Amino acid sequence: MSSKSSWNPEIPGQDVRLKSNPGKRGRTTGRTRQLGTRTLVEIEFGPAEKIYRPKNLLELCGDDESIEGLMRQGRFGGPDDLRRILTFEKVKGQLTNVFYSMESSQTDFYPHQFKPVLKFLNSPVGRLLIADEVGLGKTIEAMYIWKELQTREDARRLLIVCPAMLRQKWQDDLRQRFNIFADIVDAKELLRRVRLCLEHQQPQAFVCISSLEGLRPGSNWEGINTTNARAELARLLDANPSSESLSLFDLAIIDEAHYLRNATTASNRVGQLIRDAAKHLILLTATPIQTDSSNLYQILRIISPDDFFNADIFNNMLEANEPVVHALRHLWASPPEPAKAREALQRTSTSGYFADNPLLEQILQSLSNLNQVDENERIELGYKLEKVSLLGQYITRSRKRDVLSNRVKRDPQTLEVKFSPLEQEIYDRVSDYIREQSKGKKGAPLFQLISKQRQMASCMVAALEAWQNDASFSALVDEALWEDFGKIPEQSSTSTLSVATPSALKKVNIRELEACDSKYLKLQGFLKEQLKEKPSEKFVIFAYFRGTLKYLQRRLEAANISNCLIMGDMGDDKWTTVEQFRQDDGPSVLLSSEVGSEGIDLQHCRFLVNYDLPWNPMRVEQRIGRLDRLGQPAERISIINFSLVDTIEERILERLYERIQVFEESIGDIESILGQATEKLLVNLFSADLSPEEKKEQAIQTENAIINKRLIQNELENEAVNMLAFSDHILDSINKSRDQGRWLQPDELLAFVEDCFSRYYPGTVIEPKPNELQLYNITLSEQAKVDLQFFIGKNRCATPTQLHKSGRPVSCFFDPKISGSMGKRNELLDPTHPLILWIRERYTTSEQTLHPVSAIKTQANEINLLPGLYVYSVHRWTFSGIKTESQIAYKITRIDDGHVLSDQDSEAILSTLMKQGQTKPNAQNFIEDIDDVLAHQQICNEYIDKAFNQALEDFYIDNENRCNIQEKSARAFAERKQRELESRLDRFRQTGKTQIIPATEGQLRKVKRELEVQLKNIQEKRDDLTCEPKQLATGVIFVEEKIG
């Protein structure tokens, strides 16, 4: 290191730095000035920063730029230098032990929502089934994964497929929670975007939402003469499976994935095509993971048909996986039982599924060396066992009873309603007519008939008004099927609907019927009584029939009960209405369909009124879930139900729900049992010629069957959870990650941007926006605009920005949690924004300007350390194989007594000091023995090196395991596609469809070629594993006594 005072400032191109801030480096231009007796030297600190500085404040950057050299010469920076280094490492988007999705949305933090993120990031296959119970946030979990992929892999193309009734919900959720503006598209528009991607071979960016119904191809989709958009899209997806060079979708999310279970349906075919075209896949369903049901098997076939290609194989895998389940159970026992866990795992040696598994061998070796297991070892072994599990890598599931400590109590109440003579006459007449019409019908036509009966049970007046307009009724059938029965018809219901209204009913005096509406009058009396007792109370009233909701709106307004209404397809108006309802002086009643309430959180309300009861119990659960969800402040919520004592079918449904406690507790575990049983009961009640007594007998049989199955289901679910989750342990580790600051925080990004501007683009202005909290006006200097524009053009950034275009300040914000109220006019500066990506590249190309040595002071009471002098060291480990992993390692030691802090404490302290610590001026003057400091730095490094060696061994084993899995998957996928294509060729030849044969033969050659490329790449990643440990920073910490 040279600190010579005799250097010649008129020689251009010399590397110099500020003595007071060694991290501030520049280069001489050769120009000087005289100011009295002082020589001023022009220094170029960046492309747009040339400044004259006194020569006596500068020094040459000598040859000895090592960390030891800087420490020996006392060239200490401050906490800003440490913050700059650690923030830069986070912004790179490569750290394995950092959540880039954490605090990235306008949602509260719940640790269970990061279980899928951890599972996905550790997955060797990039596909995951999220099977959480209703109300735990599967949508949020899926989008957290998307945020991770955006940061880590520059993911640009997201496709979300869901039932048509949920498209608006997804669009609203993405905009309100994540500041993501998605487009709802049909098959024609999605086809256009996919073609663009293929034609230009460019990283086109889009976030598209499409309906499952709207993408289903017809039976002749393979034929080139079938030219509709759905068939063309299906052929395009089929011909372009995800490959090393291009994937049409970086991530595909399929919601309500249980609709794909039937392998013979068009919905299932869409799921397969999307899966193969996507680089990553997430399926969402609340269907339980019972181990004796075909539900899990059928959904896993969508996730990985190459692993789960028939039911026998699936059952064999379950049996082979039992030792892993038992080992996990022994590991989580209190106290842990490592010997029993090892004994259980040794039974896997007889299974071919675990042959030559290096990770399993490592786990067995670890357990052989342990008589006792501490908490860290238990968590680490648990993670590794999850990777070994044959099913664990594909599934994650959370249940309310496992992740919510203070669950809301549900308090059901029943309002009994007795029909007037006129109401009873009309109801009986319609029921008899529909039963007569239903004879011989089944499937969708039968359910369309039943819809009329169900509308009568919801509201007679509204039903009769709708029936007088058959076109209006037909348009609502699909929505009614979804709201009431939870069904997606395989084709549009309106085309097959031909249900006449009894002519006698057209003569009914609707106004007379309205005057004696027993059900409404009961509701009105209840509401007025409650509002008299507490005028500020809020009520949500659900109904599955739109006509009922509009009728209630009119009647309640006439009764001076303030109300508002939300239904499907309202767009932005829905959010305005809900916000009005939330206000203290807003309406007392919110009328809602279930579709209308999708995506809306109504935790501020504690009264739910089921004006009617959907026949599908999951519709009831989802209604309750709008109130009984994360963040509900009330200890209990009241669920008000109507009992129609004069209707046999409705009373049967009410009794069934009461007996199986639908209103008292979550039914997530038995959703599929209930759905099938209640649908079968409904069909029997309407299609069979049964007496009232026979109907009741059938209902009792159904109740008993459900209760028995529920007992079995609970046992199976408890077993399955051991296989698929870490329970409290993984939640604790996620909480610790948050507490440790293992996420990219808004203040870190703000400092990162400000630091770059001040160092390299001094003409740039960033200042708080007047009267707008957390908003900043940013005006780039002309040089910054040029550089940013060049970067965007070179990298084709996915996120648009005005920063390089506008001559006026651009309004920006850094905190994703406020994005819901920001809109498109304000830019969110997150790790995917072009500005952040540009600054990241700027630092990457000039990483040597980051000063690695700091001296930081703090007070003992602020950091919870004893007073004294401490030494710290920070390293980055990068491992590259089939996957690249990076992590930061921290260590602190106290010089006075040589005490070494734990990894966790070291990380927490340094994370705090880089923000709250102060610079220690002239630190070298307060260090008695620099050799002692360097010796303690070496102690820190030795601890870190030991941990690195263990991490390297783990990575070698994990890489080998991942390579084995990916090679197996690549071969299996290619074999499956070859079988499909060869079968298709045989069929084309037999049917004379010769014009399709050349294209299909081309697909076959492409599959074989892609397999060769994949296998070569996997082998290279297996053979050429690399590791790069690097010391990023070191320094001293002065912990001083509290003053005063």
Cβ–Cβ under 8 Å, residues 912 and 890: no
* Same domain flag for 858 and 770: no
* Same domain flag for 911 and 1025: yes
* Same domain flag for 887 and 1036: yes
Average pLDDT over every residue of 302-308: 83
More confident residue, 130 or 393: 130
More confident residue, 595 or 344: 344
CATH number at residue 389: 1.20.120
* Same domain flag for 804 and 943: no
Q: What is the model's pLDDT at position 602?
A: 82
Which helix (DSSP H) or strand (DSSP E) does residue 29 occupy?
Answer: strand 25-35
Q: What is the model's pLDDT at position 251?
A: 97
Cβ–Cβ under 8 Å, residues 629 and 601: yes
947-971 burial code (b ≥16 CB/10 A, e <16): bbeebeebbbbbbbbbbbbbbebbe
Q: Any bridge partners for residue 157, and if so which?
A: 206
Q: Write the burial class of residue 457 (CB in 10 Å: 0-12 exposed, 13-18 middle, 19+ buried).
A: buried
- If you search the block for the tokens 């007992």, which residue do you land on? 711
% the chain with pLDDT above 70:
84
Strand ranges inside 526-616, DSSP E: 539-542, 563-566, 589-592, 607-610
Measured CA to CA, the distance from residue 263 to residue 271 in angstroms comes to 10
Note whether residue 862 is domain-resident. Answer: yes
Cβ–Cβ under 8 Å, residues 394 and 129: yes
Domain end position, chosen among 47, 63, 79? 63
| Helices 266-277, 229-239: inter-axial angle, 10-degree rounding | 40
Which helix (DSSP H) or strand (DSSP E) does residue 557 occupy?
Answer: helix 546-558
Token pair in block for residue 325: 């389940």
Domain end position, chosen among 365, 393, 421? 393
**Cis previous bond, 445, omega within 30:** no
Cβ–Cβ under 8 Å, residues 277 and 234: no
Q: For residue range 773-790, list pLDDT tens digits in order.
A: 789 999 999 999 999 999
Strand ranges inside 36-70, DSSP E: 38-46, 49-54, 58-60
Cβ–Cβ under 8 Å, residues 591 and 565: yes
Q: What is the model's pLDDT at position 400?
A: 74
Strand ranges inside 895-969, DSSP E: 918-919
Region of 356 please: left (phi>0), alpha (psi -120 to 50) or beta.
Answer: left
Measured CA to CA, the distance from residue 101 to residue 151 in angstroms comes to 9
Please spell the DSSP secondary structure of 764-790, one letter per residue. Answer: -EEEEPTT-TTEEEEE--HHHHHHHHH
Across 492-496, 693-697, 940-944, which has the greatest mean pLDDT? Answer: 940-944
Average pLDDT over every residue of 396-413: 78
Measured CA to CA, the distance from residue 485 to residue 382 in angstroms comes to 41
Token pair in block for residue 9: 């400032």
Cβ–Cβ under 8 Å, residues 303 and 120: no
Q: For residue range 937-962, list pLDDT tens digits in order.
A: 999 999 999 999 888 888 888 888 88
Q: For residue range 161-195, list pLDDT tens digits in order.
A: 998 878 888 998 898 888 899 999 999 999 999 99
- For β-strands 918-919 and 853-859, DSSP reports them as antiparallel
Q: What is the model's pLDDT at position 700?
A: 75
Note whether residue 40 is domain-resident. Answer: yes
Cβ–Cβ under 8 Å, residues 100 and 93: yes
* Same domain flag for 887 and 1032: yes
Q: What is the pTM of this model?
A: 0.75
pLDDT classification of 292: cutoffs 50, 70, 90:
very low
Q: What is the model's pLDDT at position 123?
A: 82
pLDDT classification of 79: cutoffs 50, 70, 90:
very high
* Same domain flag for 913 and 1030: yes
CB atoms within 10 A of CB 453: 22
pLDDT over 80 (residue 304): yes
Contacts of 953 (CB under 8 A, 6+ apart): 362
More confident residue, 210 or 16: 210
Measured CA to CA, the distance from residue 634 to residue 409 in angstroms comes to 9
Cβ–Cβ under 8 Å, residues 131 and 103: no
Q: Give every strand in the sheet of 827-828, ordered side by side.
A: 765-768, 775-779, 810-813, 827-828
Measured CA to CA, the distance from residue 750 to residue 664 in angstroms comes to 47
Q: For residue range 349-378, list pLDDT tens digits in order.
A: 778 788 778 888 888 888 887 777 777 777
Q: Any bridge partners for residue 41, and if so which?
A: 32, 53
- Which stretch of 172-186, 289-303, 429-443, 671-685 has the lowest confidence by average pLDDT? 671-685
Cβ–Cβ under 8 Å, residues 291 and 716: yes
Measured CA to CA, the distance from residue 345 to residue 339 in angstroms comes to 10
Cβ–Cβ under 8 Å, residues 143 and 174: yes
Average pLDDT over every residue of 879-886: 86
Which helix (DSSP H) or strand (DSSP E) does residue 299 occupy?
Answer: helix 294-303
* Same domain flag for 892 and 1035: yes
pLDDT classification of 688: cutoffs 50, 70, 90:
low
CATH number at residue 5: 2.30.30
Region of 874 please: left (phi>0), alpha (psi -120 to 50) or beta.
Answer: beta
Token pair in block for residue 475: 């348009």
Q: Any bridge partners for residue 3, and if so which?
A: none
Mean of pLDDT over the chain: 82
Measured CA to CA, the distance from residue 635 to residue 879 in angstroms comes to 49
- If you search the block for the tokens 């049996």, which residue do you land on? 319
Note whether residue 250 is domain-resident. Answer: no
Contacts of 218 (CB under 8 A, 6+ apart): 226, 228, 230, 231, 266
* Same domain flag for 816 and 952: no
* Same domain flag for 758 and 811: yes
Measured CA to CA, the distance from residue 10 to residue 49 in angstroms comes to 18
Cβ–Cβ under 8 Å, residues 649 and 685: yes
Measured CA to CA, the distance from residue 445 to residue 481 in angstroms comes to 11
Note whether residue 805 is domain-resident. Answer: yes
Dihedral sign computed on CA atoms, order 613, 614, 618, 623: negative
CB atoms within 10 A of CB 364: 17
Average pLDDT over every residue of 579-605: 83
Token pair in block for residue 269: 């075919």
pLDDT classification of 721: cutoffs 50, 70, 90:
very low
Token pair in block for residue 764: 């740039």
* Same domain flag for 753 and 822: yes
Strand ranges inside 47-163, DSSP E: 49-54, 58-60, 127-130, 157-162
Residue whose C-alpha is closest to residue 232's, from 240, 244, 224, 243: 224
More confident residue, 507 or 418: 418
pLDDT over 70 (residue 709): no
Cβ–Cβ under 8 Å, residues 71 and 933: yes
Measured CA to CA, the distance from residue 540 to residue 535 in angstroms comes to 15
Note whether residue 8 is domain-resident. Answer: yes
Q: What is the model's pLDDT at position 931?
A: 93
Measured CA to CA, the distance from residue 806 to residue 799 in angstroms comes to 16
DSSP helix, strand, coil percent of the chain (3-state; round to 5): 55, 15, 30
Note whether residue 663 is domain-resident. Answer: no
Note whether residue 384 is domain-resident. Answer: yes
Q: Distances from the Cα of 599 to the Cαs of 47, 117, 171, 174, 595, in angstroms?
A: 48, 21, 9, 10, 9
Q: Give every strand in the sheet of 918-919, ordered side by side.
A: 884-894, 868-880, 1026-1040, 853-859, 918-919
pLDDT over 90 (residue 660): no
DSSP three-state, residue 343: helix
Strand ranges inside 104-241, DSSP E: 127-130, 157-162, 183-184, 206-211
Phi, psi values for residue 812, rounded to 5°: -135, 160
Q: What is the model's pLDDT at position 497?
A: 41
Residue whose C-alpha is closest to residue 150's, from 925, 676, 904, 837: 837
Measured CA to CA, the distance from residue 931 to residue 578 in angstroms comes to 66
Q: How many domains does the chain contain in total? A: 4
State the amino acid at position 856 in one-letter form. I
26-57 burial code (b ≥16 CB/10 A, e <16): bebbeeeeeeeeebbbbbebbebbeeebebee
Average pLDDT over every residue of 401-419: 80
pLDDT over 60 (residue 482): no
Note whether residue 348 is domain-resident. Answer: yes
Token pair in block for residue 212: 């499952």
Measured CA to CA, the distance from residue 759 to residue 793 in angstroms comes to 24
pLDDT classification of 669: cutoffs 50, 70, 90:
very low
Measured CA to CA, the distance from residue 135 to residue 132 in angstroms comes to 8
* Same domain flag for 932 and 810: no
Average pLDDT over every residue of 520-548: 93
Cβ–Cβ under 8 Å, residues 460 and 511: no
Token pair in block for residue 987: 């069929």
Domain end position, chosen among 377, 393, 409? 393
Domain limits at 12?
1-63
Q: What is the model's pLDDT at position 107?
A: 80
* Same domain flag for 882 and 1030: yes
More confident residue, 222 or 503: 222
pLDDT classification of 1041: cutoffs 50, 70, 90:
confident
CB atoms within 10 A of CB 335: 7
State the amino acid at position 97 in one-letter form. N
| CA 89 to chain centroid | 23
